[in-house]
Amino acid sequence: MADPNTTEAMAALLARIGVEGIQQQNQVNVENIENVYPLLEISGGVSRYHTHQYILEELKNKFIQAIITEHWNQEKISSYYFEALKKYPDRITEEIYEQFAREPTVIHEAPIEIKRDLYERDQKMFKEMIKTQIDNYFKSQSLIMQQRGTNSDILDQRIIIPEIKYIIDLVNESSILFDEMQDIMSEIYKDNGHSNICSFRLDFFNCMQKAGKISGINIHGTVEAILTNLLKNPTVKWISTVVTLGRKSHEILRINNASIPRVDEKIYSSFYEKLLYWTYEDNERAPETARIMKQEIHVDNEDVPDLNFMFKFGTNDINILKNNDFAIKVLGSYLLDRCQHGDIIAFKTAIEILIRLNFKPLVRLFNIYYDEPVINFLVDRGDLEKLKLVKIWREKAAKPITETPLYQNLVNKSQAIGIYQITNVHL
């Protein structure tokens, strides 16, 4: 018998305790296992490994037999099963998910990783669950628009609200569930008014961003700026649909349509009208733009069509863009939409408007243009030199803010890309 004070003896004792613990934890009794304990004391290296391997194999077989008996506790096996699937997610086949779907209790018992995949496959069930969470959120919170969580302290408090935390953990980085969340919030808004759901929406988006879940969103295989996605659905997408109704489509703005985003009347009567006209002209000009792009003209000498005078951006429109963050974001969404359609003419027309703006909104906007998906798009189209306009703007307009963190972020992005880099050199 080995000296009980030696390292080998202590290791053998620990091994025995470990095996016994496994048996007790899993309620499995391996007959005559005590007969192998002496082997643990006298064997080492590979022999001990094999001994443990055989014991664990026997435990596994007994465990499987226990599972298939009618007296096995279903709740106990579910926890083991889910933990195994969570560790090996690539083993979860569609057949397994179909089997899960037939078990009404699975969605409540499954870990959140499996719940996420189940909800992606059953968005109706996801919608019902989310509406319940939002109802609970409304009941438990005093929701005031002025307390919508625009600073870090408020967000720190709101991100731990149980309903918000659960939804953020569940959605995580799933573009499918994130898109469904936007549809659900839009549906609730149309059915029940706007104040409460707007407060929830702001909490959700801000807390998702603070949690690091939506610094970008997976769209068409690329990552698009979150700012663009949030605004594209209710604004630019809506504008693109409306323009198909004809040249006078901007008159629809005067219709009392609840589905149109509610913003300042001045934006509707001036800024939106002109942006609608721009979008209509973009569509009308699409064949000519495609011809230009096909010819692979890569210099800054394309003729920019002269807009109808009444639809040019004047002083009032520039002031709206300077003073209304929503308007500048909408214009940014429009520009990204045009980039994604290869419409360099529209981009060049709009960039001249941007040069007339204050520099801080411009820095925020141009940060979007140095994001990877836009750069990749321009590279694919062969239009990367259009970023020269950004460099020119910097040289003309950004001098007063070259030392600010906001500007430095733009500098870092441009230098990471390596083409048309913006520098900190004062002019």
Q: What is the pLDDT of residues 183-198, one digit of tens each?
A: 888 777 766 655 567 6
| Residue pair 320/271 in contact by the 8 Å Cβ criterion | yes
Q: What is the pLDDT of residue 146?
A: 41
Based on the fold, state whether residues 24 and 75 are members of the same structural domain.
Answer: yes
Mean pLDDT over the full length of the chain: 62
Domain-terminating residue out of 160, 195, 214: 214
Q: What is the pLDDT of residue 245?
A: 37
> Of all residues in the chain, what percent carry a pLDDT higher than 90?
0
CA atoms within 13 A on the CB side of 363: 22
In Å, what is the CA distance from 278 to each residue of 115, 318, 363? 44, 16, 23
Q: What is the pLDDT of residue 252?
A: 41
Q: What is the pLDDT of residue 3?
A: 55
Helices (H), 141-264: 152-158, 162-171, 175-192, 195-210, 226-231, 237-242
The H or E element containing residue 216 is strand 216-219
Residue 395 lies in a domain: no
Residue 277 lies in a domain: yes
| Residue pair 149/122 in contact by the 8 Å Cβ criterion | no
Based on the fold, state whether residues 270 and 248 are members of the same structural domain.
Answer: yes
d(CA 427, CA 412): 19
d(CA 53, CA 59): 10
Helices (H), 247-343: 265-266, 273-284, 286-294, 315-323, 325-340
Based on the fold, state whether residues 197 and 266 are members of the same structural domain.
Answer: no
Q: What is the pLDDT of residue 4?
A: 53
Based on the fold, state whether residues 169 and 77 are members of the same structural domain.
Answer: no
d(CA 37, CA 35): 6
Q: What is the pLDDT of residue 256?
A: 39
Domain that holds residue 150: 121-214
Q: Is 9 exposed, middle or buried (0-12, 13-18, 19+ CB in 10 A)?
A: middle
Least confident of 274-283, 366-375, 408-417: 366-375
d(CA 417, CA 370): 8
Q: What is the pLDDT of residue 162?
A: 81
* Band (317; pLDDT cuts 50, 70, 90): confident
Per-range mean pLDDT, top range of 124-133, 157-166, 418-427: 124-133
d(CA 192, CA 423): 50
Based on the fold, state whether residues 354 and 229 are members of the same structural domain.
Answer: yes
Q: What is the pLDDT of residue 220?
A: 36
Mean pLDDT of 86-97: 67
Based on the fold, state whether residues 236 and 205 are members of the same structural domain.
Answer: no
Residue 2 lies in a domain: no
Residue 113 lies in a domain: no
Based on the fold, state whether residues 61 and 82 are members of the same structural domain.
Answer: yes
Based on the fold, state whether residues 257 and 188 are members of the same structural domain.
Answer: no
Torsional sign, CA 84, 85, 86, 87: positive
In Å, what is the CA distance from 401 to each residue of 92, 332, 394? 53, 21, 10
Q: What is the pLDDT of residue 84?
A: 64
Residue 116 lies in a domain: no
Q: What is the pLDDT of residue 154?
A: 63
Residue found under tokens 């499987």: 64
> Of all residues in the chain, what percent carry a pLDDT higher than 70?
23
Which of 305, 383, 301, 281 is CA-nearest to residue 342? 383
Which of 217, 199, 179, 223 is CA-nearest to residue 134? 199
| Cβ burial 102-135 (10 Å sphere, 16+ → b, else e) | eeeebbebbeebbbbbbbeebbeebbebbeebbe
Domain-terminating residue out of 158, 182, 214: 214
Residue 394 lies in a domain: no
Question: Is 60 exceeded by the pLDDT of residue 292?
Answer: no
Based on the fold, state whether residues 131 and 42 are members of the same structural domain.
Answer: no
List CB contacts of 252: < 8 A, sequence separation 6 or more: 242, 245
Torsional sign, CA 173, 174, 179, 183: negative
| DSSP code of residue 319 | H
Per-range mean pLDDT, top range of 81-90, 179-188, 404-413: 179-188
Based on the fold, state whether residues 168 and 284 are members of the same structural domain.
Answer: no
Encode pLDDT of 29-43 as tens digits: 666 666 666 665 555
Based on the fold, state whether residues 351 and 258 are members of the same structural domain.
Answer: yes
* Band (426; pLDDT cuts 50, 70, 90): very low
CA atoms within 13 A on the CB side of 269: 4
Residue 353 lies in a domain: yes
Q: What is the pLDDT of residue 61?
A: 72
* Band (131; pLDDT cuts 50, 70, 90): confident
Mean pLDDT of 3-19: 62
Q: What is the pLDDT of residue 205?
A: 75
Mean pLDDT of 416-422: 55
Question: Is 60 exceeded by the pLDDT of residue 54?
Answer: yes
Encode pLDDT of 232-261 as tens digits: 444 444 444 444 333 444 444 444 343 444
CA atoms within 13 A on the CB side of 401: 21
In Å, what is the CA distance from 322 to each residue of 226, 271, 315, 404? 21, 12, 10, 19
| CB < 8 Å & 24+ apart, contacts of 195-201 | 195/143, 195/145, 196/138, 196/143, 197/134, 198/145, 198/148, 199/143, 199/144, 199/145, 199/147, 199/148, 200/134, 200/137, 200/138, 200/143
Domain-terminating residue out of 60, 95, 130: 95
Count of domains for the chain: 3
Based on the fold, state whether residues 151 and 248 are members of the same structural domain.
Answer: no
Q: What is the pLDDT of residue 259?
A: 45
Which of 400, 323, 326 is CA-nearest to residue 357? 323
* Band (156; pLDDT cuts 50, 70, 90): low
In Å, what is the CA distance from 232 to each residue of 72, 250, 254, 269, 284? 53, 18, 21, 20, 21
Residue 414 lies in a domain: no
